[in-house]
Amino acid sequence: MNGNSYPYLACGVRLFWDEIRQQHFLLFPEGAVKLNKTAWAILKLCDRHHTTDEIIAELSAQFASPNVEADVRQLIAQISQRGFLNE
């Protein structure tokens, strides 16, 4: 994964907030994946307008965690491998 790439959700994949369950989901044609707050924060920035490095910088400013870069890169790689994210 390149820090200069602009990740974005694949066709047919979208983020969804379930008001009843008070839970974030990643929806895709074959099903859904429940997201934690970290995954939601990362994926909502995967919009073709932010590079991977910009996502890392923005989330590093929001969260005081030394693992932000590793978390972002790991999630983007995992979601990309499943075909839900393009870079």
pTM as predicted: 0.92
C-alpha dihedral sign at 49, 6, 67, 15: positive
> Is residue 62 helix, strand or coil?
helix
State what percent of residues in the chain have pLDDT above 70: 99
What CATH number does domain 8-86 carry, 1.10.10.1150, 3.10.180.10, 1.10.8.60, 1.10.10.10?
1.10.10.1150
Please say if the pLDDT value at position 64 is more than 80: yes
In sequence order, the 6+-apart residues with CB closer than 8 A to the CB of 3 are: 51, 52, 53, 56
pLDDT value, residue 1: 65
